[in-house]
Amino acid sequence: MPIPVVCPGCKSRFSVSDQFAGLTGPCPKCKKPIKIPELAVKAVTIHEPDAPVTTSAGTGRAPTAPIRRIDKAIPPWRFAAIGVGAVLTMLAAWGAGLTLGVEALKSNWAWALALAGFLIAVPCVLLGYAAVRDRELEPYSGTPLLLRSLACAAVYAGLWVAKGQLPPEATAEMWQWVYLGPMFVAAGALAALASLELDWGPAVAHFSLFALFTALLRWLAGLLPL
């Protein structure tokens, strides 16, 4: 690296090679001796990066380590309980259709069907949330999950009751659900999106679980599935 030099006699400026650093030589113009300055070399110390920390306690700095989120799997006994509950519910719907009859269910037991819709919606909402929730987000649990699930279940049951209030001629043909179905699905998906913070795709799948299961129960009871 060239070293800039200024002659103390004639004030000429020029550069010399760094191999002459610290030596004395004559000025090319006035021949007065010039002391070539030494190179100022600074030692460069490379520090290793600080180890990532998971807490700000004692450091005053934000945590730098990535947060590891452990996704707790659903215990096997819950799957077994859900399966047994679903089978018992289907048997109850089939037995109600045999013992009470379709007309009795439509007239005298309409309130019971509305209550059953809500009771069925609660486990469907909880099971559906565990299946389709975003794994990148912290899941709801405890009381917040229960309250949000009850609110979502109430909307699902309300949509089921609203469907039952439609005149028979409006739902007698399958093609009519080409127009009615999207409205119910959109309302149910919106409820799942607002209460459980699901995306649109998972929210539609979440409501579809409840809709398919209730349609199966209606069919087992002898009622029209839709």
Same domain? 85 vs 37: no
- CB neighbour list of residue 175: distance below 8 Å, 6 or more residues apart: none
Q: What is the pTM of this model?
A: 0.61
Whether the per-residue pLDDT at 40 is higher than 70: the answer is no
Any idea which residue has 């069907």 for tokens?
113
Is 193 part of a structural domain of the chain? yes
Do 215 and 111 belong together in one domain? yes
44 vs 199, higher pLDDT: 199
- Domain assignment of residue 40, given as a range: 1-49
The answer to whether the beta carbons of residues 131 and 203 sit under 8 Å apart is no
Q: Between 37 and 196, where is the model more confident?
A: 196
Do 106 and 198 fall into the same domain? yes
Same-domain status, 45 and 128? no
Structure-token match 């490379």, residue found = 46
**What does the mean pLDDT of the chain come to?**
77
Task: Please say whether the beta carbons of 27 and 12 come within 8 A.
Answer: yes
CA distance 198 to 207: 11
pLDDT by residue (tens digit) across 51-83? 666 666 666 666 666 666 666 666 677 667 777
Q: Are residues 104 and 207 in the same domain?
A: yes
| Nearest-10 Cα torsion for 137, 123, 74, 70 | 20
Residue matched to tokens 């520090």: 47
Same domain, 126 and 192: yes
In-domain check, residue 124: yes
Quote the number of domains for the chain: 2
Task: Report whether 202 contacts 137 (CB < 8 A).
Answer: no
Q: In this structure, are 107 and 210 located in the same domain? A: yes
